[in-house]
Structure 1
Amino acid sequence: MVFAPKFLAFVAASLSLVGAAVLEERAPVDPCATIAGKKWVSPKEVRACYQSIKVDETLKANIIEVVTKTLAFHASTNYQIKAPQPFTNDVHEDILATLAQIKSKKYASDYDLHIDLSRAFKRLNDGHVVWINRCYDSAFVNYLPIPLSLITAKDGSQNVHISPEAFTVATAEFPDQIQFWQDSLKWPLTGKLQSLAGAKVLLINGRPPFDAVNDNVAIAGSYQSFATRQNGFFSSYQATAAGWTYLLGQFAQQSLPLSDNAVLTIQREGHLLPEIVILPYRSRIGSAIKPFTDGKSFFANNCRAVPATNGQDIYASSISAFSAPEDSERPVEEFQQQTPVPASVARKHPINVILDTQPLSDVVLPPTLAPGLPAAPGSRNAAQFYLLKDGKTGVLALGSFSDSNYDAFLNSLLQGLVSLKSQGATQLVVDVTNNGGGFICAAHWLHRIIIGPKSTTVPQAGLDTEARNGPLAQLIVKEIINKNADPDNELLYNPRQWRNAKNEVFNATDDWLQPPVKKIINGRADAFSQRLGQECQPEAFPANVPDVGLFDPKKVVIVSNGRYVLRLQAPNPTG
C-alpha cells in the first residue's frame, strides 16, 4: 500500500505519454509551417517541406501527357537517343521512354517526382529543353560561403581552390549568416572563415575534387559540352544590365536542397599540413517566392499556374483567366539568363535565351575584380566597351544579346566599336563569358559590322537551318494559310516569317512545311522542313550599316567559358 501512490503516478504518467503520442499522430507538425516566414533555414527543413507535398495523380498525368505531346516543338528527341559525334558520350537519353516510365511510377512526394523529371530533361544537355518547377527550383536556394575556382599555377598546373575572393563575396552577400558559418567551423578554425580564401582543395567529401565536379556534370544539363558543364561548378562573372555580377558556381549555390554540408580537405596558404573543414549549407528563401504559412498555402501560392504560365492568346478580345496582360507576372522570366525584355519587344524579334533553374545572379562582383578602366562611349547595359592600356586592344564585354530597346542596343554596339577604333584600337577581344543569349539578329549584326560585307556575312553567316516538321506543326501552318488564322503575322509558323534557301520570303499562302523532308534517325522516322534562309537582313538591321569591316577578322578573339548562347542561324519555330 505504501507504494501504491508511486505506482499510480507511474501509470498516470505513462497514460499521459500515450495520450500525447496519440495527439501528435492526430496533429503532426506541418514542416512547411516550420520554415514559413523565415529567411534562412537548413536544407533538411526545406526538404521536409517539399516532401510533405503529395502527388496529385490527375495533375501528374496531365503534365506528362502535355509534355510528351509537345516535346517535338522543343527538341529533336530522336537525335538525343544517341547524338552524333562529338557528343555521343554526352547525349544519349530516350526522353519519351523515360517519361513513360515516370508516368507509371509511384512517388512518395511531388518533390521526388520533380527530381525525376528534372534530371531526365537535364540528361538531354539541351538548353532549349529545360524542366523548371518554380514550386521547388530556387524557391529556397542552398548556399555555401566558399565558392571554388580552378586556378592555373605559374608552371601550368591546375588545381581547385577556394576562390581567393570568397570571404569578400560572402560577407557582402550573406552578412546575416557569416557568424553562423564562423561558429560552425571546428577548432582550431572556429571564427577563421576568412583564412580559407585561396586554400587548395585536396578532397571534396573524401574524394578527389574533380569527382565532385563530374558528379555535378551529370545533373547540370543545358550544355552538350562536358567541359562547359564542368565550368558551371566554379565561380565566374557576368556583365548584366545592373552591372558586373558574381556567379558563385554550382558547388556554392544549389537551386534545390540537395546537400546538408560539405567536407573539404584543404591546404591553406602558408600551411604545410592538410586540414578538414566541415561547413553546412544554408537555404535562403528565393526572391520570387510568395508568402505562405503552411504546406497548403505554400502549394497554392507558389505551385499553381498563373495566367501567363502557358503564354497568352494575343488575338483574345479581352483578358480572361487563360490570357495575361502585358505587365502580368511571367514565371519563365524568373529563370531567363537576361534582364527581362518587355513582351511587346520580345514578340517583334527572334530571341534565343538560356534558361536555368537559378535566376539571373545579382551577387555583386567585388570591385577588385571588376574592370578598372573607364567604359568607352557606346557602353550600354550588358554591353560594355573598354580600351586597354596598350592603346591598341579594344574589349567588348557582352554578357547578353538582350536589351529593353532593340534598336538602341544594335546602334550602341556600332557606336562602341567605332569609338574603340577612333581611340586607336586595331584588335578586339569579345568576351561572351556566361552570355545568356538574346536577340538572334543582334548576333548577326555584331558579326556583320566587325567583319564587313562578305560572302560569309551577307545575307548571313552561312548557317541555314530547318524546322522540325511534326503533324501538329503541319496542321498549324494549314490553319494559317487556309483560314487566315494569323492575320497580323504574329506566329512563327506564318510563312511570311521565313525565307527559302534562296533567301526569298515565302508568300502568305505558301505551305512551307510541305513536302516534309523525311529521315530515319536512330531507327525512328522523323521529318523536317525544307532548307530555310536568313531572316535578319535588311529588316532587322539599322539603316547605317558600315560599308567596310571595323576590325581585321584575324585580330578578333572571342573569350568564353563555353557557357554562352551565340547563335548565328535562323530561329527554329519548333525550338
Structure 2
Amino acid sequence: MVSFSLRSLILSATLAALATFTTAQTTLAPVPTPHPVQLDACATLSSKSSTSLTVEDVANCYKAVPFDSTVAASTLESVLTIFKDYYSFRDSALTPTFEKPFDAPPSDIVRRLETIGRTKYTSDYSFHSDVRAAVDSLFDAHSSYIAKCYNAYLFAQTITLYAPVTDGKQSVRVFHDFLDRGYQDCTVEKIEGQDALPYIYNWATKTTSFSKDGGVRLTEALGTQQYNVERNGTYTIYAGAFAQRATLPEKNYVDYELRCNSSATTIQLREDWRVLSQVNAAFNDVQSFKENLCLRDMPSAIENSPAQIQKRDSKKPKPERPLYLVPAPKKALLLDDILNAPPTQSTFGEFEDALKLGAGNGTAFYQLKSRPEVGVMVVFTHLVRLGDEVAQILTGLDTFNQLNVTNVILDFQGNFGGSVEFASVLTQLLFPGTDILDKTLPSDLRVTKEMQQAASALMNNTDADLFNAGSFIDLKTNSAFTSDSLFQHPITRVRNGRSSLYTELMTIKPLEFFPKLTEAVANHPWSDKPANIRILTDGRCGSACAMSCHVLTTQYNVTSYAIGGITAEPLSMFSFVGGAVATLTEINRLYELAGMESPVKQLPYNGGVNFPVVEVYARGSEVPLDFEPQYHRATHRLDYTTQNARKRDVMWSQVANDAWKH
C-alpha cells in the first residue's frame, strides 16, 4: 500500500508536470509508476479477512520466519533432556516388530533428536516441524511437542468421511456434508486421484500418532459421533484428523471423486480448506509474528476467552488430584462453528431404540427399547470430579436396577482418558467384591540423580505427588512408602540393548473405597458377573480409559467389542496406556518445590512438551503394557455401516444381540 505522504508527493509532481507541459508545450518523459510497497508474507496473512485466508497464505508466513539458531539450540536441549532422561518408554520404543494389531515401526527418539541437532536449517518452521515429527514417531498420544505459533490456524474441510462396509467390501463414504449439497453417504472413489481407502489409510498411518494400531489411527482420521456435554448431551460430529487439523495441509484444496446413489457418472469435487485463526495475538509482519505468537504467551481465541474459561470451569471443575490426569485433548472446534451453521446440522437427536435415563459430566445412561433388559453406560471421559460423578453413576446404576436391567454395555468410544483414580473407582462400582488393590496395576518410573535429590526434599509433600514416594504403594507391603527408598534404590532395566534406571515395581495409591458404596452396588444383577457386562470401544480409549479396559478384560474376563479399522483385521480396544503424563512445566514446578534448579530449561517458544513418566504393566509381565499388543486386541470387532455410524443405538443393539442372544 502506498503511504499518504508518498501519494501527495506523486500528486504534486504530476500537477507540476502538467503545468510545465501547458506552458512550454514541450514533451516530457512520463512520470514512472511507483512500485507498490512489498508486504512480507506475515503482513499479507494479517491483512486478509478471515473468509479469504488460504493454506498458502499461512504456509508462506510460517516458512518466512528465519531460522534462529539460539532458539533451536535451547529447544533441542530441553526436548532431548526430557526424552533422554524422563520419558518412560525411551528404550521400549526401540522394539523392532510387533504382533497385530500393532504396526508401528521402532523409533529411536534420542537419535532422531540428535540428528535434528546436526541438520542445517534455513526455516524456523522446518526445524520445529521436524521436532514435532520426531516425537510423533513414537505413536504415543501421551507424547507431543507443540510450538503454538505454528498451530495458530485451524484447517477444515466441509465434508467429513467415514469407512463403512458395503456387501463385504470396505469403502470410504461421506459422513456429513456441512453445506447440504446432497453428498452424504456418497462413495468416495478417489482422493487426490488415488483410490480412496488406500489413500486415507496411508495418510492416517503416516500422519496421525494416536495409536500403535493403524486401524485405530484410521478411525481417528475419519468422522465419528462424539458425546457432547456442552451441546446438551447430544451426539455431535467429531470431524477426524483428516478433515480438521492444525498442521499445514499440502495445498489449498483436496480433490475428491464421488459416486452418489450408484450413478453411472462420478462427481469431481474440489474442496478448499477453510482456514480459521485460533489466536487473539496481533502481528503485522514476520518479526511481530515471531515476537507476539512464538515468544510471548499466546491467548487462544477459541479456548481461552473469558466466556469460554468461565463456561468450562463451571461445567468441569478440576479433579482432586491433577497429577494423574491426562491433559484434556485440545477441544476440536466443530465444523458448524467454522461455517456458522446451525448446530442442528451436526447433532443427532433422540435415539429410536434407546431411552436416555440421565447423564453426568463423564457418563450417560440409556436403556434399549427393543431389549429393555440391556442398559448402556456411556463413559465418554475419565476427566471428572470423582465425588460428583460417582454419585451420578450410583444413580444411573440404581435406575437400571429399578427398570429390571440385567445386562450392561460400557461404551468407551472416543474416551481419551483422565483420572486414574476414576478408572479404579469405575471398576469397583462394577466388581465390588474384590480387594481395592486388584483395581490397580504394577508401575514404575525412570530415575535420575536430580530426581533422587528432589524426592528426598519432597517426601510426603502432597503438592508433589510425582516425586513424593508417599503417593505410591509398596507392592511388598501393600502400604504406602514411608521413606524415599523408592527413588534411592533404583534397579537397572535393559530393553532392546539399552539400560536405564527405574524404581522398583509399585502402584499408584488408590482412593479409599467406602463400604457403603460396595453395599450400594453389591446386589445389582450384573455386579461381579462378567457374563452380564460388555465393553464397546472404537480403539480411541486412552490412558485412564485404557486402564479401565485392561483391568476389566484381563482381571475380570469382560468381553470386548471394537468398531472401525479395516475389515477382518484385528483392532485394539484401547491405546496409549501409560500411567501418568507430565509436562515440562510440571517437572520444573516439582524441582522448584524441592528448592532445586531444574535440569530441564523452559522452552523459548510458547508451547509445551507432554510425555509419560509412569509406565504400567499387566500383572506378571515385565514388558510395559503399552508394548504388549496381545492385551490390546479386542475380543470381537464390528464394521461401520450406513446404519450404525450415525445411530449409536443401532450399534448398541448389534452388541446386545451378539452378546445376549434371546
- TM-score, normalised on structure 1? 0.78
1:300 partner letter? E
The residue matched to 1:194 in structure 2 has which SS? coil
* 1:359 equivalent in alignment to 2:359: no
Q: Deviations over 1:401-442 (max 9, x none)?
A: 112x33111221222122112211111111111112111111
Comparing 563-572 and 109-118, the one that deviates more: 563-572
Structure 1 segment 390-409 matched on structure 2, within 5 A: 390-403=371-384, 405-409=385-389
Show the counterpart of 2:414: 434
**CA separation of 1:489 and 1:145: change in aligned 2, threshold 3 A:** closer
Show the counterpart of 2:220: 232
Q: Deviations over 1:312-340 (max 9, x none)?
A: xxxxxxxxxxxxxxxxx989xx9xxx966
**Offset of 1:65 from its aligned partner?**
0.4
Structure 1 segment 452-471 matched on structure 2, within 5 A: 452-454=432-434, 458-461=436-439, 463-471=441-449
Structure 1 segment 420-499 matched on structure 2, within 5 A: 420-454=400-434, 458-461=436-439, 463-481=441-459, 487-499=461-473
* 1:62 equivalent in alignment to 2:78: no
Among candidates 153, 176, 199, match of residue 186 of structure 2:
199
Q: Deviations over 1:2-40 (max 9, x none)?
A: xxx99984xx67xx47x73xx75xx54343443357323
**CA separation of 1:561 and 1:8: change in aligned 2, threshold 3 A:** farther
- Conserved in 2, the CA contact under 8 Å of 1:233 and 1:251? yes
2:42 partner letter? P
**CA separation of 1:79 and 1:440: change in aligned 2, threshold 3 A:** same
- Conserved in 1, the CA contact under 8 Å of 2:98 and 2:104? no
- Conserved in 2, the CA contact under 8 Å of 1:469 and 1:529? yes
Among candidates 565, 568, 571, match of residue 579 of structure 2:
571
Show the counterpart of 1:261: 253
Q: Deviations over 1:488-531 (max 9, x none)?
A: 45331111101111463344433212322212222211121111
Show the counterpart of 1:124: 138
**Offset of 1:101 from its aligned partner?**
1.5
The residue matched to 1:472 in structure 2 has which SS? helix
The residue matched to 2:437 in structure 1 has which SS? coil
- Conserved in 1, the CA contact under 8 Å of 2:154 and 2:277? yes
**CA separation of 1:147 and 1:342: change in aligned 2, threshold 3 A:** closer
Structure 1 segment 66-77 matched on structure 2, within 5 A: 66-71=78-83, 72-77=85-90
Among candidates 101, 104, 107, match of residue 93 of structure 1:
107
- Conserved in 2, the CA contact under 8 Å of 1:123 and 1:219? no
- Conserved in 2, the CA contact under 8 Å of 1:444 and 1:536? yes
Q: Quick one: distance in 2 between partners of 1:408 and 1:423?
A: 23
- TM-score, normalised on structure 2? 0.69
Q: Quick one: distance in 1 between partners of 2:209 and 2:158?
A: 24
Q: Quick one: distance in 2 between partners of 1:371 and 1:349?
A: 35
Q: Quick one: distance in 2 between partners of 1:148 and 1:7?
A: 67
Among candidates 286, 291, 315, match of residue 295 of structure 1:
286
The residue matched to 2:212 in structure 1 has which SS? coil
Gaps of 5+ in 1: 172-192, 310-328
- Conserved in 1, the CA contact under 8 Å of 2:429 and 2:518? yes
2:536 partner letter? V
Q: Deviations over 1:469-505 (max 9, x none)?
A: 2333223223334xxxx64453311111011114633
2:113 partner letter? L
- Conserved in 1, the CA contact under 8 Å of 2:471 and 2:508? no
The residue matched to 1:437 in structure 2 has which SS? coil
**Offset of 1:62 from its aligned partner?**
0.8
Larger RCO of the pair (alpha carbons < 8 Å, separation 6+): 2
Q: Deviations over 1:305-363 (max 9, x none)?
A: 54999xxxxxxxxxxxxxxxxxxx989xx9xxx9669999446255342665x534445
Q: Quick one: distance in 2 between partners of 1:31 and 1:434?
A: 37
2:40 partner letter? V
Q: Quick one: distance in 2 between partners of 1:160 and 1:353?
A: 32
**CA separation of 1:416 and 1:304: change in aligned 2, threshold 3 A:** farther
- Conserved in 2, the CA contact under 8 Å of 1:402 and 1:439? yes
Show the counterpart of 1:188: none
- Conserved in 1, the CA contact under 8 Å of 2:174 and 2:185? yes
Among candidates 146, 149, 157, match of residue 169 of structure 2:
157
Q: Quick one: distance in 2 between partners of 1:526 and 1:262?
A: 46
Q: Quick one: distance in 2 between partners of 1:368 and 1:476?
A: 51
Q: Quick one: distance in 1 between partners of 2:27 and 2:433?
A: 100
Aligned length: 500
Among candidates 116, 121, 146, match of residue 159 of structure 2:
146
- Conserved in 2, the CA contact under 8 Å of 1:261 and 1:281? yes
**CA separation of 1:7 and 1:450: change in aligned 2, threshold 3 A:** farther
* 1:560 equivalent in alignment to 2:560: no
2:291 partner letter? A
Show the counterpart of 1:411: 391
1:394 partner letter? G
The residue matched to 1:271 in structure 2 has which SS? coil
What is the percentage of aligned positions where both structures have the same residue? 18
Show the counterpart of 1:521: 495
Comparing 209-218 and 563-572, the one that deviates more: 563-572
Among candidates 463, 475, 479, match of residue 505 of structure 1:
479
**CA separation of 1:553 and 1:354: change in aligned 2, threshold 3 A:** farther
Q: Quick one: distance in 2 between partners of 1:441 and 1:208?
A: 45
Q: Quick one: distance in 2 between partners of 1:49 and 1:370?
A: 45
Q: Quick one: distance in 2 between partners of 1:201 and 1:388?
A: 33
**Offset of 1:293 from its aligned partner?**
3.7
- Conserved in 2, the CA contact under 8 Å of 1:32 and 1:48? no
Comparing 541-550 and 208-217, the one that deviates more: 541-550
Cα RMSD (Å) of the superposition? 3.3
- Conserved in 2, the CA contact under 8 Å of 1:467 and 1:572? no
The residue matched to 1:86 in structure 2 has which SS? coil
Task: Name the one with the larger helix percent.
Answer: 2
Q: Quick one: distance in 2 between partners of 1:84 and 1:515?
A: 32
- Conserved in 2, the CA contact under 8 Å of 1:262 and 1:280? yes
- Conserved in 2, the CA contact under 8 Å of 1:432 and 1:564? yes
Q: Quick one: distance in 2 between partners of 1:510 and 1:502?
A: 15
Q: Quick one: distance in 2 between partners of 1:342 and 1:415?
A: 19
The residue matched to 1:512 in structure 2 has which SS? helix
**CA separation of 1:490 and 1:542: change in aligned 2, threshold 3 A:** farther
Among candidates 33, 58, 67, match of residue 46 of structure 1:
58
**CA separation of 1:520 and 1:54: change in aligned 2, threshold 3 A:** same
Show the counterpart of 1:544: 517
Show the counterpart of 2:570: none
The residue matched to 1:136 in structure 2 has which SS? helix
The residue matched to 2:410 in structure 1 has which SS? strand
Q: Quick one: distance in 1 between partners of 2:515 and 2:199?
A: 48
The residue matched to 1:63 in structure 2 has which SS? helix
Comparing 206-215 and 225-234, the one that deviates more: 206-215
Task: Name the one with the larger strand percent.
Answer: 2
The residue matched to 1:266 in structure 2 has which SS? strand
Q: Quick one: distance in 2 between partners of 1:494 and 1:469?
A: 13
**CA separation of 1:519 and 1:490: change in aligned 2, threshold 3 A:** closer
**CA separation of 1:297 and 1:340: change in aligned 2, threshold 3 A:** farther
- Conserved in 1, the CA contact under 8 Å of 2:326 and 2:580? no
Q: Quick one: distance in 2 between partners of 1:296 and 1:70?
A: 29
Gaps of 5+ in 2: 1-24, 336-342, 552-577, 582-612, 615-662
**Offset of 1:462 from its aligned partner?**
5.5
Show the counterpart of 2:364: 384
1:471 partner letter? K
